[in-house]
Amino acid sequence: MLTNIFSLKPEELAVKMKEQFPAFRYRQVMHWLYNKLVFDPEQMTDLPAPVKEYLSKNFSFALPKIDVVQKADDETAKYRLKLEDNEVIEMVLIPYEKKRTLCVSSQVGCARACAFCATGKLGLKRNLEVHEIVGQILLASAICLPERLTNLVFMGMGEPLDNLDNVLASLKIIQAEDSLTFSPRRTTISTCGLPDKIRQIANSKVRTKLAVSLNSAIDDKRDILMPVNKLHPLSELKEALFYYLNRVNFRVTFEYIMIPEVNMGGEDIKALKKYVGDLSCKINFIPYNQVPDLPYRSPTEREIDEFLSRAQVLNQAITLRRSRGANICGACGQLAGT
């Protein structure tokens, strides 16, 4: 099989091409791929025939194929992508004011089985390869033209930290100066909370923001909502977050999905205040998005207002984050490859 060119770090491609061609040919190819977003060597008009032939014979330029597109009332677009082995994933492109945010998938399915999440019902089929992750970002970048894709959130299908090596390799590619030069400040990896992998991010020298899907600061409740908590309880997660914060110049974001009759009581605010009190963080409160066949409901506006009023006792910055794309099942917890 040919090496997929989108799996190579720029310096790796540079070494390969410089064996046969002047250095400026490598720079031309990178400009076509990551600036002009042209993915077919035959369309790279300033390359001579020998370079085009070399590229075609030595590399695959395959990207995930857009299979189905659904557009929501709020202009959010969900793309079902077919991979080379016919597995499917979803990515979501979210335009809002001057931002264009891509919700990136990292796995086909997910093994973590969070009780409120549609992806978790699928189970894990496999990890995405580096070129399949980079491919989503390039497809979205091309869709956004002539505007630029501004933000990346690894909050699509899968637990990114269960595929961390490939996620970090993808970030190295897109953050590189010869590539998209994507800003670490505009990149967020979301996790259910895997302490060893959080430490790995902190030690990796790949700069990225970190979001933790918390959803309860009470172990017994979080055990039910998120089975990972039975393996790595809140105290263990917190130790890893201190480790991350001591090494990375970004505060942590906590994602807290509001589920009535589950985690929106006074005791939940009290536990949350105690848990986050000594952490450099902000908290995004997200109304639960209905998922078919799951026993939870979305909160009413009154329930949201009452909960946020109680949450004013928190010393950290808090935000109500309205999910977008809910009417096409493109919002948080709704991705299931449909």
Q: Is the pLDDT of residue 80 over 70?
A: yes
> Strand, coil or helix: what is 223?
helix
**Quick one: which of 150, 134, 156 has its CA closest to 96?**
150
Q: State how far the Cα of 319 lies from the Cα of 333, in Å rounded to an integer.
A: 18
Q: State how far the Cα of 233 lies from the Cα of 195, in Å rounded to an integer.
A: 10
Structure-token pair, residue 115: 């009780």
Q: Is position 332 annotated as part of the catalytic site?
A: yes
Q: Is position 144 annotated as part of the catalytic site?
A: no
Q: State how far the Cα of 67 lies from the Cα of 330, in Å rounded to an integer.
A: 15
Instruction: Summarize pLDDT for 128-142 with one digit per residue, the tens.
Output: 999 999 999 999 999
How many CB atoms sit inside 10 A of residue 188's CB?
20
Q: Cβ neighbours of residue 230 under 8 Å, at least 6 residues apart?
A: 223
- The neighbouring-strand residues paired with 88 are 82
| Residue 7, φ and ψ in degrees, nearest 5 | -95, -5
Structure-token pair, residue 286: 């997200």
**Quick one: which of 190, 91, 90 has its CA closest to 141?**
91
Domains of the chain: 3-60 (1.10.150.530), 65-328 (3.20.20.70)
Structure-token pair, residue 215: 């959803």
Q: Cβ neighbours of residue 121 under 8 Å, at least 6 residues apart?
A: 113, 293, 336
Residue type, 248: V
The dihedral through the CA atoms of 189, 296, 269, 306 has a sign that is positive
> Strand, coil or helix: what is 83?
coil
Residue 119's pLDDT is: 86
Structure-token pair, residue 240: 């890893």
Instruction: Summarize pLDDT for 227-254 with one digit per residue, the tens.
Output: 999 999 999 999 999 999 999 999 999 9
Structure-token pair, residue 140: 């979205």
Q: Is the pLDDT of residue 23 over 80?
A: yes
Average pLDDT of span 184-208? 97
Q: Is the peptide bond before 146 cis (omega within 30 degrees of 0)?
A: yes
- Given a contact cutoff of 8 angstroms between Cβ atoms, the answer to whether 107 and 126 are in contact is yes
Average pLDDT of span 170-191? 97
Confidence of residue 5 (pLDDT cuts 50, 70, 90): very high
**Quick one: which of 261, 258, 263, 259 has its CA closest to 284?**
258
Average pLDDT of span 260-288? 96
Which of 110, 117, 281, 332 is the catalytic position? 332
Confidence of residue 120 (pLDDT cuts 50, 70, 90): confident
Which of 11, 90, 177, 261 is the catalytic position? 90
Between residues 172 and 1, the one the model is more confident about: 172
- Given a contact cutoff of 8 angstroms between Cβ atoms, the answer to whether 5 and 59 are in contact is yes
Q: State how far the Cα of 3 lies from the Cα of 15, in Å rounded to an integer.
A: 14
Instruction: Summarize pLDDT for 292-325 with one digit per residue, the tens.
Output: 888 899 999 999 999 999 999 999 999 999 766 5
Give the single-character DSSP code of 259.
-
Q: State how far the Cα of 301 lies from the Cα of 161, in Å rounded to an integer.
A: 33
Confidence of residue 73 (pLDDT cuts 50, 70, 90): confident
How many CB atoms sit inside 10 A of residue 213's CB?
26
Q: Model-level pTM?
A: 0.93
Q: Is the pLDDT of residue 336 over 90?
A: no
Q: State how far the Cα of 64 lies from the Cα of 60, in Å rounded to an integer.
A: 12
